[in-house]
């Protein structure tokens, strides 16, 4: 383990780090090979980010789609799943490919980060094997280390996202572009299902979509979000961060049926605040019931702040343009073309 920690300390990025971990997992567990997959919330798949001991052909066999794989559904709920004989397991994906690869037994454990399952660590054997309690604990300990590394990488990703958005605010006056960057970075950095920004139309009493990522057109066009009919948004517009850990049990939503049909199970709403007043809402969504951690809320709050700055900058720019246009019109009105001096 000490040698492993030394190797990991020298790694410069997440890909290198997790591939070092996959190699060491294979050697420490004395198995044929290992894979590390991260959850893609938007597409509901598990994507390979590191592997060792397995052929490229096997690794490229196809995506692991969660709805077709009950084993990984269990693992992502924090459970360990061992398969002593893949030939007797009815839910094994790509069975023929696994047989050609010479895989006989599999052990899968969750990759946890910030108390949330973000992926799956899996080991494979070339002979039938019934994994012992000690072996399971060993793999879970190695997966725990992987979670710490993934979380460290996430923090770097958060910093890069904030810097990128900050630079965009400074270099562009395109509000649409900046807000789209905010929602995409919110979802991608935290590996969430989707994200959206709605701005308050005070005259209509509605929240209008200005940017979205990962949501279907049908969902976005479901109807107006009326503040009077949406308690969760009323609360958020009081400058509060509002969480709905399980949509199925929450009565504060205006469109509960539509949001469940979209495949959303939890959400977090954060106010976009300018001078102490909420002017809109940044909302993020997950595909499973989920309680956001303090560090995740801090990152999303920073993104919401960036979005609010961009909105304020755009509004100030529009105000200045209008003032300049009015001033120019008045100067031309006052100007005496005979004397070349304005009559003021």
Kind plus residue range of the DSSP H or E element containing 196: strand 194-201
pLDDT at 178 over 90: no
Tally of CA atoms within 13 A in the half-sphere of 341 that contains its CB? 3
% of the chain with per-residue pLDDT over 70: 83
pLDDT value, residue 206: 96
Q: How confident is the model at residue 235 (pLDDT cuts 50, 70, 90)?
A: very high
Cα gap 289→309, rounded to integer Å: 31
59-68 residue pLDDT tens = 988 888 888 8
Q: 133: Cβ–Cβ under 8 A, 6 or more apart, which residues? A: none
The per-residue pLDDT for 183 is 93
User: pLDDT band at 42, cuts 50/70/90?
Assistant: confident
The pLDDT value given to residue 315: 65
For the chain, what percent of residues have pLDDT higher than 90?
52
pLDDT at 86: 94
- The two tokens of residue 223 are 């109807």
- Whole-number mean pLDDT of the chain? 85
Averaged pLDDT, 135-145: 92
pLDDT at 333 over 90: no
Cβ-contact 125, 103 below 8 angstroms: yes
Distance of CA 158 to the CA centre of its chain: 11
Q: What is the pLDDT of residues 75-112, one digit of tens each?
A: 999 999 999 999 988 878 889 999 999 999 999 999 98
For residue 248, the 8-state DSSP code is G
Structure-token pair, residue 323: 């003032």
User: Regarding predicted confidence, which is higher, 7 or 132?
Assistant: 132
pLDDT in tens, 193-204: 999 999 999 999
Residue 63: Cβ within 10 Å count: 15
Buried residues in 239-249 as b, exposed as e (16+ CB within 10 A): eebbbbeebee
54's enclosing H/E stretch is: none
Taken in order of first residue, the domains within the chain and their CATH numbers are 2-153 (3.30.450.40), 172-331 (3.30.450.40)
Furthest C-alpha separation in the chain: 101
Indicate the pTM of the whole model. 0.65
Percentage helix, strand, coil, to 5, in the chain? Answer: 50, 25, 30
- Please tell me what DSSP assigns to residue 105: E
Running DSSP on this structure, what letter comes out for residue 111?
Answer: E
28: left (phi over 0), alpha (psi -120 to 50) or beta: alpha
Average pLDDT over residues 38-45: 83
Tokens of 108: 């899968």
Give the strand pairing for 45-52 and 33-40. antiparallel
Q: Is the dihedral of CA 332, 337, 342, 344 positive or negative?
A: negative
Tell whether the model's pLDDT for residue 296 goes beyond 60. yes
Q: For 165-169, 170-174, 178-182, 312-316, which range has the lowest pLDDT when averaged over its residues?
A: 170-174
């Amino acid at each position: 383990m000490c040698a492993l920690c030394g190797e990991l300390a020298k790694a410069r990025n997440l890909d290198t780090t997790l591939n070092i971990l996959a190699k060491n997992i294979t050697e420490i567990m004395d198995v044929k090979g290992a894979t590390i997959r991260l959850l893609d919330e938007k597409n509901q798949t598990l994507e390979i980010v590191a592997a060792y001991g397995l052929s490229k052909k096997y690794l490229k066999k196809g995506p692991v789609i969660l709805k077709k794989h009950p084993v990984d559904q269990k693992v992502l709920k924090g459970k360990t799943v061992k398969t002593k004989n893949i030939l007797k397991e009815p839910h094994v994906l790509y069975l023929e490919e696994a047989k050609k690869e010479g895989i006989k037994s599999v052990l899968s454990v969750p990759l946890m980060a910030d108390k949330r399952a973000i992926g799956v660590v899996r080991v494979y054997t070339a002979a039938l094997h019934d994994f012992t309690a000690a072996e399971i604990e060993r793999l879970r300990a190695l997966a725990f280390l992987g979670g710490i590394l993934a979380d460290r990488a996430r923090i770097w990703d958060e910093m890069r996202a904030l810097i990128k958005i900050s630079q965009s605010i400074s270099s562009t006056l395109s509000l649409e572009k900046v807000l789209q960057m905010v929602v995409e970075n919110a979802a991608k950095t935290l590996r969430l299902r989707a994200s959206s920004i709605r701005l308050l139309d005070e005259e209509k009493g509605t929240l209008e979509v200005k940017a979205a990522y990962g949501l279907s057109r049908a969902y976005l066009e479901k109807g107006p979000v009326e503040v009077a009919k949406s308690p969760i948004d009323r609360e958020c517009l009081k400058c509060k961060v509002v969480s709905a850990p399980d949509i199925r049990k929450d009565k504060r939503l205006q469109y509960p049926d539509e949001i469940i049909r979209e495949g959303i199970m939890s959400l977090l709403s954060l106010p976009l605040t300018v001078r102490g007043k909420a002017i809109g809402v940044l909302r993020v969504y997950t595909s499973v019931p989920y309680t956001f951690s303090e560090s995740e809320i801090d990152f999303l709050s920073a993104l919401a702040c960036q979005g609010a700055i961009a909105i304020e900058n755009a509004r100030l720019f529009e105000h200045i343009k209008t003032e300049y246009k009015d001033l120019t019109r008045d100067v031309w009105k006052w100007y005496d073309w005979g004397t070349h001096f304005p009559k003021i």
